[in-house]
A and B are shown apart, each in its own frame.
Chain A
Amino acid sequence: MSESIHLFAPDFSLKEETPIDRLGTYAFDLAHLIQEMGWGVEIHRMKEQEEERMIQGILLRDHSINVAKKAEGACIFLDFLSFSGWVRQGSLGVIQGMQWIREGETQEEKHKRAENVQQGLNQLYKLIVTDSYLLTYCRSVCTFPYNRVHFIPDGLNGEFYHSNPKEREERSSVNIWMPLSTEDKQGFLLSIEIADWLLEHHPTVKVCFTQPSSVNRELLWIYQRWQSHHLASERIETVDFGCALMRRDQLWTTDILIHPHFNDTDSIDICLEALACGVPIIASSFGRVNDWIIDSYNGYLTSPTLENVTQSALLLLDDPVRREVIGRRGRETVLRRGIQKWRENWRSTLQKWKMGGDYS
């Protein structure tokens, strides 16, 4: 394993040989960049069955056991908290967002996690974080040398995600997309409550939900019951947004995106895509979405309650000009976060690591 760079990741999903979740996409983007830099690269994924195959020109090895403890050479641990205890001295670790915050976590669980992060910081050459909140988390909870944590913000393909005002013209309805996933139970239930309120008070509102995952059967049942028995069920749509193209098409017909999250989930990425497409956003005032939005300037940040979210929604519902202004500013602000910048940042980090890292 010593000649290539080894990317370790917990389980991620592929559909037709393409990664469809945040972690998988990140792993393959990074692997391609490493290849471009002239180094070998392999992705190791934790799976139920052992398997090896080439995907998009990258060797993907599935392992049924945690092979990280046997890792040699240059290793990068994506979502490194999953490999707690196995992280190798001198390797790179990546934490994407605070997806590890779970509802009802006890203080002990939170302390344990802080200890895991600290343990990683003691061993890693560098910990890469993708939002400023993780930077603050490390600084305010752990202790480490100044340069140990490095912030590489996520990039966005601003050419692909662009605004398309024509799709929003000549429509009498106001389309609201509530893409929060069922991973965030509280946020998902609140989304239903908000949709209920909007449908009742605004006859022109149409709401669209992302197909709830069948993993969480209770929430799926609640959602299906709510939708099928709703007095305005014809104004509720459920769509599966598996790929980027579908998400972009949906964003082009969306007037407002509401994301009242309690946790940092994959669906927060849609907020970044929405900003790039010029769709005004209402989101909770914590987590990585706050790196992209200044409240009332290019979006709305609020605490996740029915009252607060609907208050912000009313500002946008009744005022198409405001929607246009906020949406335009949203696009302006994220255009500076191009994917190219992300690549430059990683390139420089990898070069310094390969030159100076003691990982062998």
Chain B
Amino acid sequence: MARKLEIHPSEMENGGRLLMSKQIRILTHSFLDAYNNRLDRVFGGGLERYIVDLCHVITRMGLAPEVHQLGYKQSFSVEMDGIPVHGYSCEEQDRTNVFQGMATGANAPVIYASFIWKPMQYRSDGLIISHGINWDHPLDNVENKKMIGKAIQGALDQVRTVVSVDTHFLSFTRTVCNLKYPDQMEFLPNFVDTRHFHPIRKKNNENGRVRILFPRRISWERGVIPMMVAVDDLLTNYPFLEVEFAGDFQEGELVHRAFSRWFSVHPHQDRLRKMTYNFHDVAKAYQEADIVVIPTIFSEGTSFSCLEALSTGKAIVASNVGGLNDLILQGYNGYLVNPHADEITDVLRFLVTDTEECKRLGKNARRTSLVFDRKRWMNKWEKILYRHFHNVGYTW
């Protein structure tokens, strides 16, 4: 139930500004599906899910969240589950300007939920969220990486608080930038609903098969290519194995086309599945799997998929990229490998033949997931917001 918070004008004498408006703006490049002109639905990514739950936190504090997003082809103002959502049309070349302009007119602190890698002007009472490092592809250009480092330094110079979903961005800011305050960075990992994503006693498949799940978008950065290479080897060598790809895709994308071709002519197609689930039903996919693979190549925070796999008590093989290192303790609740097909294959070869090891990992996975429960995350966010408002001079 929502808790009402009252504003106390008497605290004005402490030098604080009274929070005149209860409307807290969240700025993001993506929320409703403006890419496909589907404003009746939230786009199906981690960022968007994060914003939905952040709105719940803000509402619970007695404040009124409103989301301002890039609208791409059109401007719009709609409501989604009681939350006002404003879209701003923009061309590719002026997205940054439009993004920073979305803060204009706000008379309460603004939350910048994305775009930290772009150089821009922030409000001094703003709070930034980093969802992980997305410029960590080893082959990417050094000059681009330098520009991003400068953009982040600019952001740190302007705002009091940055919330990071993983400790890798924290380390990045310390090694590449200079912080203004020792507590400028707040580490708050992503979350999982541990009641919804729970383990089940899995009935043995009728055919006695072991199932591997790839619960990610069919895309380059999510590691679908090394996964396909590994699967080729594994299906050939282990006839009791089946593999499910359960992720969204962008129709016509190069990697998706390659995946579709590979899938359609695969000699072991009878043991390959390709599914898409809505958020509610995806728990079943985890529950029916034995092993979950998260082979991200770059751009990863504390992955929701990995958290869901932990929570459903599965043996996990993840790459040692970004925030995945914050979730997996090597050999305890999963295995971390370089995002290369041969390393993924090696560890899967070991796991598919060792059910006891899978059980041990799965048990520890569930235990560790409980500290990432959604309720704890909401409580921590509330504390962060109180502290931030206090630090930037607002009183309640």
Instruction: Give A contacts to B, CB under 8 Å.
Output: 98, 101, 105-107, 110-111, 114, 118, 132-133, 135-151, 153, 186, 262, 285-287, 290-292, 294-298, 301, 303-305, 308, 332-333, 336-337, 341
B368 part of interface (Cβ distance < 8 Å): yes
* Cα distance A235–B376 in the bound complex, in angstroms: 36
Smallest CB–CB gap between A285 and chain B, Å? 4
* B 299-334 contacts with A by CB, 8 A: 320-322, 325-327, 329-332
Cross-chain contact of A303 among B135, B185, B368 (Cβ < 8 A): B185
- Give chain A residues whose Cβ lies under 8 Å from the Cβ of B133: 136, 139-140
Do B138 and A138 touch (CB < 8 A)? yes
Do A118 and B142 touch (CB < 8 A)? yes
Can you name 5 A-B residue pairings with CB atoms under 8 Å? A98-B171, A132-B336, A139-B136, A296-B376, A305-B182
Do B153 and A308 touch (CB < 8 A)? no
Smallest CB–CB gap between B376 and chain A, Å? 8
What are the nearest 6 A-B pairs in CB distance? Answer: A336-B331, A139-B136, A132-B325, A140-B136, A133-B171, A290-B167
Do A137 and B138 touch (CB < 8 A)? no
* Cα distance A336–B170 in the bound complex, in angstroms: 26
Assuming the contacts A98-B175, A151-B338, asked whether A290 and B322 have C-beta atoms less than 8 A apart, the reply is no
Do B183 and A303 touch (CB < 8 A)? yes
Smallest CB–CB gap between A249 and chain B, Å? 27
- Give chain B residues whose Cβ lies under 8 Å from the Cβ of A297: 367-368, 371
Cross-chain contact of B170 among A150, A285, A295 (Cβ < 8 A): A285
Smallest CB–CB gap between B165 and chain A, Å? 12
- Give chain B residues whose Cβ lies under 8 Å from the Cβ of A285: 167, 170, 187
Do B171 and A304 touch (CB < 8 A)? no
* B 170-187 contacts with A by CB, 8 A: 170-172, 174-178, 182-183, 185-187
Instruction: Give B contacts to A, CB under 8 Å.
Output: 133, 135-142, 145-146, 149, 153, 167-168, 170-172, 174-178, 182-183, 185-187, 189, 298, 320-322, 325-327, 329-332, 336, 338, 340, 364, 367-368, 371, 376
- Give chain A residues whose Cβ lies under 8 Å from the Cβ of B137: 139
Do B145 and A140 touch (CB < 8 A)? yes
Do B176 and A141 touch (CB < 8 A)? yes
* Cα distance A135–B174 in the bound complex, in angstroms: 15
* Cα distance A286–B336 in the bound complex, in angstroms: 19
- Give chain A residues whose Cβ lies under 8 Å from the Cβ of B175: 98, 101, 110, 137, 141
Cross-chain contact of A296 among B183, B321, B327, B371 (Cβ < 8 A): B371
Do A286 and B171 touch (CB < 8 A)? yes
Smallest CB–CB gap between A278 and chain B, Å? 15
Specify the chain B residue showing the minimal Cβ separation from A135: B320
Do A337 and B330 touch (CB < 8 A)? yes
Do B135 and A294 touch (CB < 8 A)? no
* Cα distance A128–B142 in the bound complex, in angstroms: 20
Smallest CB–CB gap between B324 and chain A, Å? 9
Smallest CB–CB gap between A247 and chain B, Å? 23
* Cα distance A200–B253 in the bound complex, in angstroms: 63
Cross-chain contact of A145 among B138, B141, B329, B367 (Cβ < 8 A): B138
Do A333 and B371 touch (CB < 8 A)? no
Specify the chain B residue showing the minimal Cβ separation from A297: B371
Do A295 and B171 touch (CB < 8 A)? no
Cross-chain contact of B172 among A140, A142, A332 (Cβ < 8 A): A140
Do B176 and A336 touch (CB < 8 A)? no
Cross-chain contact of B168 among A136, A142, A145 (Cβ < 8 A): A136
* Cα distance A291–B142 in the bound complex, in angstroms: 26
Smallest CB–CB gap between A308 and chain B, Å? 7
* Cα distance A286–B176 in the bound complex, in angstroms: 14
Cross-chain contact of A301 among B187, B331, B368 (Cβ < 8 A): B187
- Give chain B residues whose Cβ lies under 8 Å from the Cβ of A136: 133, 136, 168, 171-172, 321-322, 325
Cross-chain contact of B186 among A107, A292, A303, A336 (Cβ < 8 A): A303
* Cα distance A153–B371 in the bound complex, in angstroms: 24
Do B182 and A295 touch (CB < 8 A)? no
Cross-chain contact of A143 among B140, B174, B371, B376 (Cβ < 8 A): B140
Do B326 and A141 touch (CB < 8 A)? no
- Give chain A residues whose Cβ lies under 8 Å from the Cβ of B332: 332-333, 336
Cross-chain contact of A144 among B138, B172, B336, B367 (Cβ < 8 A): B138
Assuming the contacts A151-B338, A286-B170, asked whether A141 and B331 have C-beta atoms less than 8 A apart, the reply is no
Assuming the contacts A303-B182, A303-B185, asked whether A101 and B329 have C-beta atoms less than 8 A apart, the reply is no
Do A308 and B171 touch (CB < 8 A)? no
- Give chain A residues whose Cβ lies under 8 Å from the Cβ of B338: 147, 150-151
Smallest CB–CB gap between B311 and chain A, Å? 13
- Give chain A residues whose Cβ lies under 8 Å from the Cβ of B136: 136, 139-140
- Give chain A residues whose Cβ lies under 8 Å from the Cβ of B168: 132-133, 136
- Give chain B residues whose Cβ lies under 8 Å from the Cβ of A298: 329
Cross-chain contact of A304 among B182, B326, B340, B364 (Cβ < 8 A): B182
Specify the chain A residue showing the minimal Cβ separation from B364: A332
Do A146 and B340 touch (CB < 8 A)? yes
* Cα distance A33–B133 in the bound complex, in angstroms: 36
* Cα distance A296–B367 in the bound complex, in angstroms: 12
Assuming the contacts A292-B329, A301-B187, A308-B183, asked whether A137 and B340 have C-beta atoms less than 8 A apart, the reply is no
- Give chain B residues whose Cβ lies under 8 Å from the Cβ of A143: 138-142, 145
Do B298 and A139 touch (CB < 8 A)? yes
Smallest CB–CB gap between B146 and chain A, Å? 8
- Give chain B residues whose Cβ lies under 8 Å from the Cβ of A308: 183
* Cα distance A295–B368 in the bound complex, in angstroms: 10
In the complex, which of the residues A98, A106, A107, A148 has the most CB atoms of chain B within 10 Å of its own CB atom? A107
- Give chain A residues whose Cβ lies under 8 Å from the Cβ of B185: 303
* Cα distance A305–B336 in the bound complex, in angstroms: 31
- Give chain A residues whose Cβ lies under 8 Å from the Cβ of B189: 295
* Cα distance A337–B357 in the bound complex, in angstroms: 16
- Give chain B residues whose Cβ lies under 8 Å from the Cβ of A118: 142
Do B329 and A294 touch (CB < 8 A)? yes
- Give chain B residues whose Cβ lies under 8 Å from the Cβ of A295: 187, 189, 371
